[in-house]
């Protein structure tokens, strides 16, 4: 399976950006963005779908940590 | 007359002699100091080169196939400033971004006619999939002078080891596709084949170009 070429990379990134914009607009409710999710999966190799999904999770988590701070887990008593 | 007694003229002569001798000694001392300074600077330069040697990054020789199918070794790139990136063609975003950055840097430096032309290199960390043909179509999207390099897994591992590159292929999915986790750095190698500097993802093209201009300006050939 050949690697995506420049046009294919761009198509995938654009689909991803559309999906993420929809998720941002819909409070991360994936149900409201099924069409974009479908486009994203159609335009990107499965490995990239997994990679970008994980990346978004990580970015959201990082954002949450920076905004809300975190309470360290309780250590041994 | 009272003005010039034999005593005072002897004193005058003694003064002249003393002044002359002092001047000579002074010039001699200055000259000695300058010579010592030159020696110190030379020693410092030699020490720095030795330090770079002991860090031993990019010390070895690599032997790889370029994207036109020709064998290239490290020796082939001596005499050129090299900017090098390790990646793989199935990479979702980081490698195209870094290669775009690399291309921007090289193009920016190309615009200065006083600077030597940099040699951009892309070495794969995924030799199983990135053969000569795959590299040929991949490098087309970036700087025209970008040379892609591949080889057997052992040849590629050898080149990566030389730069302490971390690369780890992930599990294959049902399509046989997989990711390669790898360190993301641009490496600067001098015309003597010495590793001089590295640039991570946070460095902008302008910062990298400025750094390279500095290295070129301060370069002391071995």
Residues of B in contact with A12 (CB under 8 A): 92
pLDDT, averaged across chain A: 92
Nearest-angstrom CA–CA distance, B102 and B211:
13
The owner of tokens 């900017």 is: B83
CB contact under 8 A, B173 and A47: yes
3-state secondary structure of A67: helix
Does the complex come out with an ipTM higher than 0.90?
Answer: no
Whether pLDDT at B117 is above 90? yes
DSSP H stretches of helix in A5-45? 6-25, 34-43
CB contact under 8 A, A5 and B134: no
Q: Which helix (H) or strand (E) holds B94?
A: helix B94-110
Q: pLDDT tens across B26-62, in order?
A: 999 999 999 999 889 778 767 766 776 666 566 678 9
- Mean pLDDT, residues B156-163: 90
| Chain A contact for B134 (CB, 8 A cutoff) | yes
Q: pTM score, two decimals?
A: 0.79
Q: Which of A3, A12, A47 sits opposite B134 (nearest CB)?
A: A3
Whether pLDDT at A46 is above 90? yes
Q: pLDDT tens across B164-183, in order?
A: 899 999 999 998 999 999 99
CB contact under 8 A, A45 and B175: yes
Q: pLDDT tens across B125-158, in order?
A: 999 999 999 999 999 999 999 999 999 999 999 9
| Contact yes or no for B49/B190 (Cβ under 8 A) | no
| Chain B contact for A13 (CB, 8 A cutoff) | yes
Annotated binding site of B: 91, 95, 182
Helix axis angle for A6-25 and A34-43, nearest 10°, is: 160
């Amino acid at each position: 399976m050949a690697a995506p070429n420049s046009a294919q990379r761009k198509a995938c990134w654009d689909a991803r950006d559309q999906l993420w914009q929809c998720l941002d607009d819909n409070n991360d409710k994936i149900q409201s963005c099924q069409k974009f999710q479908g486009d994203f999966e159609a335009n990107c190799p499965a490995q990239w779908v997994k990679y970008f999904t994980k990346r978004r999770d990580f970015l959201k988590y990082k954002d949450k940590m920076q905004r809300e701070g975190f309470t360290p887990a309780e250590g041994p008593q | 007359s009272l003005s010039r007694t034999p005593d005072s003229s002897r004193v005058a002569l003694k003064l002249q002699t003393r002044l002359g001798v002092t001047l000579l000694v002074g010039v001699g001392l200055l000259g000695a100091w300058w010579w010592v300074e030159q020696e110190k600077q030379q020693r410092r330069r030699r020490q720095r080169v030795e330090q770079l040697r002991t860090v031993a990054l990019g010390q070895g020789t690599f032997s790889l196939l370029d994207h036109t199918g020709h064998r290239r070794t490290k020796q082939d790139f001596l005499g050129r400033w090299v900017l090098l990136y390790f990646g793989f063609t199935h990479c979702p975003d980081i490698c195209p971004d870094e290669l775009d950055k690399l291309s921007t840097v090289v193009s920016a430096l190309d615009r200065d006619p006083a600077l030597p032309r940099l040699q951009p290199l892309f070495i794969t960390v995924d030799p199983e999939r990135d053969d000569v043909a795959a590299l040929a179509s991949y490098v087309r999207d970036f700087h025209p002078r970008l040379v892609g390099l591949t080889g057997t897994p052992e040849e590629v591992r050898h080149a990566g080891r030389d730069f302490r590159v971390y690369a780890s292929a992930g599990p294959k999915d049902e399509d046989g596709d997989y990711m390669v986790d790898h360190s993301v750095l641009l490496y600067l190698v001098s015309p003597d084949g010495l590793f001089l500097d590295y640039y991570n993802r946070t460095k902008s093209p302008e910062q990298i170009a400025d750094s390279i201009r500095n290295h070129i300006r301060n370069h002391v050939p071995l």
